[in-house]
A and B are shown apart, each in its own frame.
Chain A
Amino acid sequence: MSDQQSSAIQTVAFQNLEPLPAPVACPPIIQVRELRKIFRVGEVDVEALQGVNLDVARGEFLSIVGTSGSGKSTLFNILGGLTPPTSGTVTINGKDLANMTDVQRNELRKHTVGFVFQKYNLLPTLTAEQNIQIVRDVAGRPITFDDRFKEVLQMLGIDKRLHHKPRALSGGEQQRVAIARAIVNGPAILLADEPTGNLDSKNSDIVLNLLRDLNKRLGQTILMITHNPEAAAYGDRTVHMRDGKLI
């Protein structure tokens, strides 16, 4: 069979097939375009972010790896609406951060974005349970936990430690309480800034496995900032930052 004949047969065969449905366009939950952030330190301008572009798909566990001063924490703070960018656009769940008022940014942090910090950042005068409840209270929700969240607390292994204050908890337990606090309002995005930075390797493994579990079981989008490549390997994808740029 000549090539011409073969081609003709293929054309006829494709014409007989039903057309495939168009692929579902799922926009990224986080979209960053040409993001710049300049800090004024004394009389010197420091460009912490120099035109960052990033897309994060819904349900993705993304690790951002970079050395100290690479701009990853600045990116973290901007994505969480904690500090405004100098220029560029950041779209979270379809909403442009640049056009948000302070109230809308607060709403974003109440309902859409949860934070996990390297230093845990628990309120020292409150118990573990109260640290979680206050976030519910801030969001204007009942402070009692439903059965589903109680299961999460069990999964995190802190259900028996809820009545202790942070000083009575180990670093690993404090970080797990911080994770529980970050997800208690069911945010679509979890931002974790060096979540294992203050933990030993055993507790680091526990926390990283928990983050991966939450990602798989609850479908939360997780952005984890770390300088440790082993920790980054827990994510679905890793991007690297250097000198305020993604490389």
Chain B
Amino acid sequence: MILTLVGVSYGTLDASARRARGIGADIFVRPPGSSTISLSSAPMSEKVIKVLGAMPGVTLSTGTIIQGIGGFDTIQGVDFPTIDKMASVWRKPGDPEPPDAKAGGFKFLSGGPLKDEDDIIVDEFYARQKKLKPGDTIKLINHDWHVAGVYEAGKLARMLVRKDTLQRLTGSEDHISAIYLKLADPAQSDAFVETLKQKLNPGDPEHGYMIYTVEDFTSQLTVNSIPMLKDFIYVVIAVATVVGFIVVFMAMYTAVLERTREIGILKAVGAGPGYILNILFRETLLIAIFGTLFGIVLTYGTQWLMAHAVPASLVQETVYGWWGIAACIAIFGALLGTIVPAMRAVKQDATEALSYE
């Protein structure tokens, strides 16, 4: 349970980071007061796109509008030709340009790009989860959308529609949720962020518009940098630990009860408390280790299940670093859960134990 929850937390955030990197922007600009994972509406004026796009060193600028549709899912309104162009020349600062850079950012597995105002394009995972194909109709935010294409995952969001349509449907005409900038020289990203902070947040560069390089932004998409998620995971781990402890405790208590007669036999042949405790603790340790291994195998099962049943909603990663932590929790809980029944077994009168049926 612990490994699955941690895996989903890491996996979902990593998937978000991959999608953020996948559109090829160098700079992200978000409205004042927004957080890294906020599903914001559209508080920024669209005019800011042009202002920022006119700054020296900026080769492309575009804005998107984000609308939550329940759960973790969002639909994003984009200026498709611009975002496609931006995604086509993605590179990290210092990296050589990829060989297929000119091939175009969005790769359509079926269908094609957004054209009509009711068009929607979805990534392969969302298409698989919802069994969508070009030509289908899907109802989202109380509107019927026509599926125009299915694209290779890893670009901005799982569902993209035309920006103007989404603005109209959400009553946010001329407003956007985020701005993406592409620079002529990505190596200047950090310096550009500082310049932009001075320009957009005069007097207090660290407050106001949220401006990140793509590297900063994706590095913030981690469990530790999102306080609520971190707390959530800790609470879940605590609950899992308590539940695990109770389960192990009850299992061991029952096991000792069932073996009362066996313990009586051991006492009758001269086994002391040390010998009996040694047997019980060795068994517990073995159960905990096998339980942990079984749990690890199960996480691959849940990973497979999520990848096939809800590929667009939840992504689970294998977080190897947590294997040891989960094992420690399991072993500690199991040993702690064994102490009480073990002590009871040791103190029990041998004649009572031998008459136990």
B354, A83: Cβ atoms closer than 8 Å: no
Q: Could you say which residues of chain A place their CB within 8 Å of the CB of B68?
A: none
Q: Could you say which residues of chain B place their CB within 8 Å of the CB of A122?
A: 265
A181 part of interface (Cβ distance < 8 Å)? yes
B261, A103: Cβ atoms closer than 8 Å: no
A82, B262: Cβ atoms closer than 8 Å: no
Q: Give the interface segment out of A90-98, A104-112, A147-155, A239-247.
A: A104-112
Q: Give the interface segment out of B79-87, B116-124, B236-244, B267-275.
A: B267-275
Closest Cβ of chain B: how far from A160's Cβ, in Å? 24
B287 part of interface (Cβ distance < 8 Å)? no
Interface membership of chain A positions 58-85, coded 1 if the CB is closer than 8 angstroms to chain B and 0 otherwise: 0000000000000000000100101100
B150 part of interface (Cβ distance < 8 Å)? no
A169 part of interface (Cβ distance < 8 Å)? no
- The distance in angstroms between the C-alpha atoms of A115 and B350, with both chains bound, is 13
A162 part of interface (Cβ distance < 8 Å)? no
Q: A77-B351, A82-B350, A83-B349 are contacts. A107–B268 as well, Cβ < 8 Å?
A: no
A117, B351: Cβ atoms closer than 8 Å: no
Q: Could you say which residues of chain A place their CB within 8 Å of the CB of B354?
A: 82, 117, 121
Q: Could you say which residues of chain B place their CB within 8 Å of the CB of A80?
A: 268
Secondary structure of the B contact surface, majority rule: helix
Closest A residue to B349 by CB, please name it. Answer: A83
CB under 8 Å from chain A, chain B span 252-298: 261-262, 264-272, 275
Secondary structure of the A contact surface, majority rule: helix
Of A83, A103, A138, which is in contact with the most chain B CB atoms at under 10 Å from its CB? A138
Q: Could you say which residues of chain B place their CB within 8 Å of the CB of A83?
A: 349-351
Q: Could you say which residues of chain B place their CB within 8 Å of the CB of A138?
A: 266, 269-271, 275
- The distance in angstroms between the C-alpha atoms of A82 and B263, with both chains bound, is 13
Interface membership of chain B positions 328-356, coded 1 if the CB is closer than 8 angstroms to chain A and 0 otherwise: 00000000000000000000011100100
A109, B351: Cβ atoms closer than 8 Å: no
B262, A109: Cβ atoms closer than 8 Å: no
- The distance in angstroms between the C-alpha atoms of A110 and B268, with both chains bound, is 9
A123 part of interface (Cβ distance < 8 Å)? yes
Interface membership of chain B positions 22-46, coded 1 if the CB is closer than 8 angstroms to chain A and 0 otherwise: 0000000000000000000000000
A135 part of interface (Cβ distance < 8 Å)? yes
Interface membership of chain A positions 120-134, coded 1 if the CB is closer than 8 angstroms to chain B and 0 otherwise: 011110000000001
- The distance in angstroms between the C-alpha atoms of A123 and B350, with both chains bound, is 15
Q: A83-B351, A123-B262 are contacts. A181–B269 as well, Cβ < 8 Å?
A: yes
Q: A121-B261, A123-B262, A123-B265 are contacts. A107–B270 as well, Cβ < 8 Å?
A: yes
Q: A123-B262, A138-B275 are contacts. A115–B351 as well, Cβ < 8 Å?
A: no
A139 part of interface (Cβ distance < 8 Å)? yes
State the total of A-B contacts with C-beta under 8 angstroms: 50
Indicate the size class of the contact surface on chain B.
10 to 19
- The distance in angstroms between the C-alpha atoms of A102 and B350, with both chains bound, is 12
Contact for B269 among A77, A102, A124, A135, CB less than 8 A: A135
Q: Could you say which residues of chain B place their CB within 8 Å of the CB of A111?
A: 270
Q: Could you say which residues of chain A place their CB within 8 Å of the CB of B267?
A: 82, 106
B268, A121: Cβ atoms closer than 8 Å: yes
B270, A82: Cβ atoms closer than 8 Å: no
Q: Could you say which residues of chain A place their CB within 8 Å of the CB of B269?
A: 109-110, 115, 134-135, 138, 181
CB under 8 Å from chain A, chain B span 298-349: 349
A106, B272: Cβ atoms closer than 8 Å: yes
A82, B271: Cβ atoms closer than 8 Å: no
Closest Cβ of chain B: how far from A146's Cβ, in Å? 19
Q: Could you say which residues of chain B place their CB within 8 Å of the CB of A124?
A: 262
- The distance in angstroms between the C-alpha atoms of A111 and B270, with both chains bound, is 8
- The distance in angstroms between the C-alpha atoms of A82 and B355, with both chains bound, is 12
Closest B residue to A178 by CB, please name it. Answer: B265
Closest B residue to A103 by CB, please name it. Answer: B272
Closest Cβ of chain A: how far from B103's Cβ, in Å? 65
Closest Cβ of chain B: how far from A181's Cβ, in Å? 7
Closest B residue to A135 by CB, please name it. Answer: B269
Q: A121-B354, A138-B275 are contacts. A115–B262 as well, Cβ < 8 Å?
A: no
- The distance in angstroms between the C-alpha atoms of A134 and B350, with both chains bound, is 17
Q: Could you say which residues of chain B place their CB within 8 Å of the CB of A82?
A: 267-268, 349-351, 354
B268, A115: Cβ atoms closer than 8 Å: yes
Q: Could you say which residues of chain B place their CB within 8 Å of the CB of A117?
A: 268, 354
Closest B residue to A83 by CB, please name it. Answer: B351
Q: A83-B350, A117-B354 are contacts. A139–B268 as well, Cβ < 8 Å?
A: no
Q: Could you say which residues of chain A place their CB within 8 Å of the CB of B264?
A: 121
- The distance in angstroms between the C-alpha atoms of A121 and B353, with both chains bound, is 11
- Nearest 5 Cβ contacts at the A-B interface: A110-B270, A109-B270, A82-B350, A138-B271, A135-B269
Q: A residues within 8 Å of B by Cβ?
A: 77, 80, 82-83, 102-103, 106-111, 115, 117, 121-124, 134-135, 138-139, 181
Q: List 19 A-B contacts (CB under 8 A).
A: A77-B351, A82-B268, A82-B351, A82-B354, A83-B349, A102-B272, A103-B272, A106-B270, A115-B268, A115-B269, A117-B354, A121-B264, A121-B354, A123-B266, A124-B262, A134-B269, A138-B266, A138-B269, A138-B275
17 additional A-B pairs beyond A82-B349, A121-B265, beta carbons within 8 Å, are: A80-B268, A82-B351, A82-B354, A106-B267, A108-B270, A109-B268, A109-B270, A110-B269, A117-B268, A121-B261, A121-B268, A121-B354, A124-B262, A134-B266, A135-B270, A138-B266, A181-B269
